[in-house]
C-alpha cells in the first residue's frame, strides 16, 4: 500500500492536485471523472484501497485500478476511460451490402404478403437466406443489428414518402399560362391602386371543389373543459354519419370575396349552377376569368353547351396542368377553411352542415383576404 501512495505523491505536482480538487468539486464534469479525482485525493490522505472504497462507496478494486492508472499514465490521464478494443465485428462489409440491397427491394418481391419490410421480417429473411447467399455471418442476425446497419446507411424500408409524378407533357406550358393570369392580377391590383376606374372590367376567380365533407353527429354531449380536471373538450368516440356534401368555391383574386355553393354532388349541373352564380355577381360587361382544373364537369358537353350560349368573352377558362392543382390559389383557402371551420365539426344533419359552411363563408367575406401568388411569378411572360 505504502509504495502506491508514495508513487502517487511523487507523480502529482501541486498543479495536478489543484486540478484534481477543482474536478472533484465540479458540477459540469462527467460523474466518472469526478469520482476518480475524489479517489486519488482521498488515497493521498489514506493509503488503504479498502478504506478509500468504503468512504466513497465503491469497490476497493476500483480504487486500486484508478491508482494504478495514475502511476502508469499520470493523475489527470487516469480520470479518463481507457480506449477499449471492443469485439471484432462479425458481419462482413459484403454481408451488410447484401442486407442493404435486400432492404431496397419490396418484401412482396421476395414472396411475402407484406408490401414493405419490417426490421423483424428483414432479420428473419436474412437469417434464413443469408448463409445460402454466402454470408454465414448473418445466420444469427437479430432485429437490433438490422436497425443499426440500416441506420448507418440512412435506409428506412418500412416508410413511404410520396412524390408527384408529372404526367402532363405540356406541364410547363400550362403552368406558364396560369402564372400569366396571376401576373395579370398583379398588374390590375397596381392599376386599381392608382385609379378607381378600370378601362377593361375583368374578374379573375380561382375555383375548385372540396368534395366529401362529412356530416357527422355525436351520440353523446361534448363535455367542456374544466379547470383542474381536464383541459380539453371531451367527446365520445361513437358517432353517426349523415352523408357528405361538396363545397364549390371560387375566390375573386382582386377583391378577396369568396363565391360558394354547397351541394350534395359536384357534377356538370352543379358547376353550371356555380357559373350562373358568378354571372349574377358581376356586371354584364365584366370578363370573368376562371383558374380551374381539368375535372370532367368543367369540360363536359353540358358545360360547353351552356358556355356557348353566353355572350362572347363573358367566361374564359385557364386550366391547371394535370397533377398541378397546387398552382390553384383556392387550394390554400380550402386548407385554411378545413383547419378553422370544418375541424372537429359535428352536426345533427346535412342541412345543418350546409348552413354552418355557408355561415363560415359569410364570415370569411366579412373580412376578405386578397390572396397573392408569388412562386415563379417573375418567370411569367
Per residue in 261-280, pLDDT tens? 999 999 999 999 999 999 99
Query: What does the pLDDT read at residue 365?
Result: 95
Query: What does the pLDDT read at residue 200?
Result: 58
> Partners of 279 in the beta sheet?
none
Relative to beta strand 287-292, strand 258-263 is: unpaired
Query: What does the pLDDT read at residue 4?
Result: 55
Do residues 329 and 206 make contact, with C-beta atoms less than 8 angstroms apart? yes
Q: 312 is written with which cell numbers? A: 362572347
Q: 115 is written with which cell numbers? A: 408490401
Could you write out the three-class secondary structure of the chain? CHHHHHHHHHHCCHHHHHHHHHHHHCCCCCHHHHHHHHHHHHHHHCCCHHHHHHHHCCCHHHHHHHHHHHHHHCCCHHHCCCCCCCCCCCCCHHHHHHHHHHHCCCHHHHCCCCCCCCHHHHHHHHHHHCHHHCCHHHCCCCHHHHHHHHHHCCCCCCCCCCCCCCCCCCHHHHHHHHHHHHHHHHHHHHHHHHCCCCCCCEEEEEEEEEEEEEEEEECCCCECCECCCECCCECCCCEEEEEEEEEEEEEECCCCCEEEEEECCCCHHHHHHHHHHHHHHCCCCCEEEEEECCCHHHCCHHHHHHHHCCCCCCEEEEECCCCCHHHCCHHHHHHHHHHHCCCCCCCCCHHHHHHHHHHHHHHHHHCCCCCCCCCCHHHCC
Instruction: Round to whole Å and give the CA distance between 333 and 291.
Output: 14
Query: What does the pLDDT read at residue 244?
Result: 95
Query: What does the pLDDT read at residue 10?
Result: 47
Residue count (the chain): 381
Instruction: Round to whole Å and give the CA distance between 262 and 248.
Output: 6
> Distance from first CA to last CA of the chain, Å, rounded?
90
Q: 7 is written with which cell numbers? A: 508513487
Q: 157 is written with which cell numbers? A: 424500408
Query: What does the pLDDT read at residue 31?
Result: 86
Taking alpha carbons only, the member of 67, 70, 71 closest to residue 52 is: 67
Instruction: Round to whole Å and give the CA distance between 76 and 36.
Output: 9
Residues in the chain where the model's pLDDT stays below 70: 1-11, 195-200, 379-381
Query: What does the pLDDT read at residue 100?
Result: 95
Its sign, for the CA torsion 30, 36, 40, 46, is positive
The Cβ of residue 103 has, within 10 Å, a number of other Cβ atoms equal to 23
Instruction: Round to whole Å and give the CA distance between 350 and 242.
Output: 6
Do residues 7 and 47 make contact, with C-beta atoms less than 8 angstroms apart? no
93-103 and 119-129 are packed helices; what angle lies between their axes, rounded to 10 degrees? 130
119-129 and 143-152 are packed helices; what angle lies between their axes, rounded to 10 degrees? 100
Do residues 269 and 248 make contact, with C-beta atoms less than 8 angstroms apart? no
Query: What does the pLDDT read at residue 3?
Result: 56
Using CA atoms, how far residue 318 sits from 179, 207, 330, 341, in Å, is 10, 10, 14, 29
Amino acid at each position: 500500500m505504502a509504495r502506491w501512495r508514495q508513487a502517487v505523491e511523487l507523480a502529482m505536482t501541486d498543479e495536478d492536485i489543484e486540478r484534481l480538487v477543482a474536478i472533484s468539486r465540479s458540477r459540469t464534469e462527467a460523474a466518472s471523472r469526478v469520482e476518480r479525482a475524489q479517489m486519488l485525493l482521498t488515497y493521498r490522505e489514506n493509503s488503504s484501497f479498502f478504506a478509500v472504497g468504503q468512504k466513497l462507496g465503491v469497490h476497493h478494486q476500483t480504487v486500486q485500478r484508478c491508482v494504478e492508472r495514475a502511476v502508469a499514465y499520470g493523475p489527470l490521464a487516469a480520470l479518463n476511460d481507457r480506449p477499449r478494443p471492443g469485439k471484432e465485428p462479425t458481419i462482413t462489409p459484403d454481408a451488410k451490402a447484401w442486407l442493404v440491397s435486400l432492404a431496397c427491394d419490396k418484401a412482396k418481391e421476395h414472396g411475402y404478403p407484406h408490401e414493405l419490410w419490417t426490421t423483424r421480417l428483414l432479420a428473419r429473411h436474412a437469417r434464413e437466406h443469408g448463409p445460402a447467399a454466402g454470408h454465414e455471418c448473418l445466420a444469427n442476425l437479430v432485429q437490433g443489428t438490422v436497425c443499426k446497419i440500416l441506420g448507418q446507411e440512412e435506409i428506412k424500408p418500412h416508410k413511404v414518402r410520396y412524390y408527384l409524378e408529372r404526367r402532363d407533357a405540356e406541364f410547363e406550358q400550362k403552368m406558364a399560362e396560369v402564372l400569366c393570369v396571376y401576373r395579370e392580377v398583379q398588374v390590375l391590383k397596381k392599376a386599381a391602386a392608382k385609379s378607381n376606374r378600370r378601362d377593361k372590367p375583368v374578374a379573375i376567380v380561382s375555383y375548385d371543389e372540396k368534395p366529401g365533407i362529412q356530416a357527422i353527429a355525436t351520440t353523446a354531449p361534448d363535455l367542456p373543459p374544466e379547470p383542474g380536471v381536464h383541459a380539453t373538450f371531451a367527446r365520445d368516440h361513437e358517432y353517426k354519419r349523415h352523408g357528405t356534401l361538396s363545397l364549390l368555391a371560387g375566390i375573386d383574386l382582386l377583391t378577396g370575396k369568396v363565391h360558394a355553393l354547397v351541394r350534395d354532388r359536384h357534377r356538370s349541373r352543379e358547376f353550371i349552377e356555380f357559373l350562373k352564380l358568378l354571372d349574377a355577381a358581376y356586371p354584364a360587361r365584366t370578363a370573368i376569368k376562371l383558374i380551374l382544373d381539368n375535372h370532367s364537369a368543367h369540360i363536359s358537353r353540358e358545360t360547353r353547351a351552356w358556355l356557348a350560349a353566353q355572350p362572347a368573352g363573358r367566361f374564359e377558362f385557364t386550366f391547371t396542368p394535370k397533377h398541378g392543382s397546387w398552382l390553384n390559389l383556392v387550394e390554400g383557402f380550402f386548407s385554411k377553411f378545413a383547419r378553422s371551420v370544418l375541424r372537429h365539426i359535428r352536426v345533427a344533419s346535412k342541412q345543418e352542415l350546409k348552413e354552418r359552411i355557408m355561415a363560415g363563408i359569410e364570415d370569411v367575406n366579412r373580412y376578405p383576404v386578397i390572396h397573392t401568388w408569388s412562386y415563379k411569378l417573375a418567370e411569367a411572360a
